[in-house]
Structure 1
Amino acid sequence: MKKIPVYLFLFLLLAGCSLSNVQHNEELEDAIYLIVSDENNDKLSLNSMTTFDWDKAYLFTPYSTQESITEQLGVDFKDPSDIDWRDDIYLLVFLDSDQVIQYAELERQGADFSIGEKQYLTPTDDIINIKHD
């Protein structure tokens, strides 16, 4: 049996770890749920709810395909939520310097989310509209 050189093993290990740099931000999901649960709220300011640096945030609707997500982001991102098969969530993906850094799955909870005609949000243009059923 051939032995794998230690440096090759370490390279493969580090390469595998680098693929998991995208964080699922469940704290942000919880904060958004609190705002959505109050039917008097029809908007949320995303930048005021984040504690990390980002320069773009994309909101993907239910049934968005992997191909359309990759095309809109302009980078390869494997959607962990399988939103292309789901109608119960929206997917919020954050980029910083053209790298996906975090994502959040927004359960509909009797509400729909929209960013209007914009392609993406920025820290200075960060409003998500909430429409309650």
Structure 2
Amino acid sequence: MRKKIVVIVAIVIVSIFVLVDLFMEDLWESNENLLKEEALSIEESVENINFNELTPFEWDVAYAFDPYTTNDTIYETVGYKWDKIRETINEGMNQIVFLKDGKVVCYLYGYPENNGYGIYFTQENRTELSSASVINSKDDLVFQVVRSNNVIYLENKVRKK
């Protein structure tokens, strides 16, 4: 009887951990939601915005990957594998990975029309690998705010040094 109770208690504890893990949002998802809130709250009169002030989390470097970039290329670029990454399947999709101390802290994926906002880096920010553009949080990054069809586009066209 005592053995049965121990087994039942163990099953309940394991079940609780599994359920908590299933319902717990990952850091990069939480930060993407915060970034979305910030982007969608940009006032109508704002034409340019400091990207570092817009991001509500700490980050060191961000990579914007071209459409059709393979998962392996993304993993190789950011330095490790993590779950829930998907390859972009079409032009115009965003796939941006923000890192802090070498770890993913925000992952933006999808069509700007579905997300309500999109972020685009300039060609001058290309990496040696031609599949990604990169920005560094230490740079003074100014993004142009463009609104079109109820979508906010942030374009890294203005860059202060």
TM-score by length of 2: 0.54
From 9, 24, 30, the counterpart of 2:40: 30
RMSD: 3.8
Unaligned runs of 5+ in 2: 1-6, 128-132, 144-155
Larger radius of gyration: 2
1:93 partner letter: V
Q: Which has the higher contact order (CA 8 A, sep 6+)?
A: 1
SS in 2 for 1:63: coil
Q: Which residue of 1 aligns with 2:137?
A: 123
- 1:1-133 alignment runs, 5 A limit: 5-17=11-23, 20-23=26-29, 24=32, 25-30=35-40, 45-77=50-82, 78-80=84-86, 82-83=87-88, 85-105=89-109, 107=112, 113-114=121-122, 116-118=125-127, 120-125=134-139, 127=141, 129-130=156-157
> Please, which moves more after superposition, 85-94 or 99-108?
99-108
Structure 1, unaligned runs of 5 or more: none
Higher helix share: 2
Q: How many residues align?
A: 121
CA contact (8 A) 2:52 2:137 kept: yes
TM, length-normalised to structure 1: 0.62
Q: Identity across aligned pairs (percent)?
A: 25
